[in-house]
Amino acid sequence: MQWLPAEDAQLSGDAQVITPESAWTGESNWRGAYVLAEEGGSVRFDLAGAVLEAVAAGGGTAHPVFHRLAEAAGTAIWAAVAADGTRTVLGALESGGAGEPGATEWDGVLRPARLAVPLPAEAVALEVVSHGRLELDEAMLLPALTSTVYPVEGGGRVTLGVSSADGELPMRPGETGRAFRPDGTTEGQVNRGRRSLREGTFAIVR
C-alpha cells in the first residue's frame, strides 16, 4: 500500500493547498493539508521510486481519499498517464452529494473511494481534473496482488495472497491451495497451472 499526499503533487489551474486550523474534522482526520481544486483545476501525482516499482510489477488499484461534500459539487475525472503520454481513464467520482450530516455535525464524509478501472502497469502518473469542487486529501494505491509468507513449524510455509485487481499469485513447484471470495465461499483451487486470482478474492497456499 502506498500513500500519495495531495499537497505534494503538481497543481495546475484553479487548485491550491489548504491547511485547516485542525486536522480533526469531528469524525476523521485530514492527513495535514489538502488540495482544493475548483472547476478545471488539476492534481498530478508523478509515480517514482518504490511507488513506481510497485505499479510496474503488475498494476494495481487507486483509491482517492477526499471530502465528499454534503451538497452536489460536480465530478472529478481520474486518469493514469503512461510514459508516452497515453491516458487511461480510471473513473469519475462525485465530489458531493453525501447528504445530510449523520452522527456528527461535519458536512459530508472524508474517506477513500475505489476507482472503477485498475491502474495499468505502464502508468507513470495519476491525474485528476475537477469539474466542480474537489477537496482532495491523498491517493492510496494498492498493488494488484499482495502476498505474505508465513513460515510453519517443521519447515515449509503458508502464503496468503490478496488481490485488489486480477493478478497471478507467486508459487513454488508443489505448492497448492484454494482461492476464496470475500464472504469465505470457495472460488476454486490454485496451483502452478492455475495461479490467477480474480479481483477481490484471496488465496491460502502451502
- H runs (alpha helix) in 90-200: none
Q: What are the residue boundaries of the structural domains of the chain, listed by start?
A: 2-143, 145-205
- Residue whose cell numbers read 493514469: 80
Backbone angles phi, psi at 151, to 5 degrees: -70, 145
pLDDT in tens, 117-175: 999 999 999 999 999 999 999 999 998 888 889 998 888 889 898 998 888 887 878 88
- Residue whose cell numbers read 491550491: 16
Please state which CATH class domain 2-143 belongs to.
Answer: mainly beta
The mean pLDDT of the chain is 91
Give residue 178's pLDDT.
92
Strands (DSSP E) found in 51-176: 60-68, 74-82, 87-94, 109-112, 123-132, 134-143, 145-151, 157-163, 167-168
Give residue 191's pLDDT.
82
The answer to whether 133 and 38 have CB atoms below 8 angstroms apart is yes
Helix (H, G, I), strand (E, B) or coil at 54: helix
Residue 11: band (very low, low, confident or very high) from pLDDT cuts 50, 70, 90? very high
Q: Over 80: is that where the pLDDT of 192 sits?
A: no
Q: Kindly report which listed range (7-21, 105-119, 120-134) carries the lowest average pLDDT score.
A: 105-119
Give residue 198's pLDDT.
87
Q: Could you give the C-alpha distances from 11 to 36, 49, 152, in angstroms and in order? A: 10, 20, 49
The model's pTM: 0.84
pLDDT in tens, 69-93: 999 999 999 999 999 999 999 999 9
Q: How many helices (H) and strands (E) does the chain have?
A: 1, 18
